[in-house]
Amino acid sequence: MPYLTLSDGTEMYYVDQGEGQPIVLCHGWPLSSDAWQTELKVFFDAGYRTIAHDRRGHGRSSQTSTGNDIDTYARNLAELVEHLDLHDVVVVGHSTGGGEAVRYAAKYAGGRVAKVVTAGAIPPIMVKSESNPDGTPIEVFDEIRDNVLNRRFQYWYELAEPFYGANREGADVSQGLKDDFWRQSMMCGLPAAYDCIEAFSETDQTEDLKALDVPIMIAHGDDDQIVPIDDAARKSIELVKHGTLKVYPGASHGIHGAYQKQLDQDILDFIKA
């Protein structure tokens, strides 16, 4: 299995397959590159070089107790892209990975990025404040912290329900999908799982969005219970220069089922456009 030793000594696991224009996939919290298994095959079959990494502290990468913040995530991604000498990159990020992708493209890409795609992404900022009165109250994130610290073994099972919309009437969400969410979440080190809550909720990426000078497709399900569309995608599209907003009716935060098939096709169409 390929690993990259980052500049601070962290071992980053990654998958790299195929040839052609590179698509780099950034996963959400508290998952791993395994969340992109379908996309790794679909995009590879479509003729692209597909790369996905386990963010520091997640999956098979080092379980770091430091650097669990959006800026470090983006700088680590830059090291991976430079290590593989990738150019004309399409960087795709889900949830927290969307924040990682946007920060990377805006600040660290050095001309290597051609396009950006986000899905259910956290920018511009989630937490409620005087400057963001429509955001989610800090108490919600404090409760998540308490659950992760004290009862994560059960909490990951519970979080899978709203994550994939399994708590909606008529939802078609398999037990296997929820079990895999638990499996990936349990692979995330506790410091990373805990610290990333602040990273995904309190990092203001308004200036990152404004700084993007490449096309971005902002995808979001309108029944996202984790990152509400009105507080994220609908605000982000107003801040970017070259943006396309794709709204998926009834889609959850987690990427699965019909939403996943349509999103993957839309990403391929966006790359070719």
The residues annotated as belonging to the active site are 95, 224, 253
- Locus of tokens 């996202």: 224
Return the amino acid letter for 167.
Answer: N
Residue 112: other Cβ atoms inside 10 A = 19
Is 124 in contact with 204 (CB distance < 8 Å)? yes
The phi and psi torsions of 24 (rounded to 5 degrees) equal: -110, 125
Buried b (16+ CB within 10 A) or exposed e, 149-186: eeebeebbeebbbbbbbbeeeeeebeeebbebbbebbe
Rounded CA Rg of the chain: 17
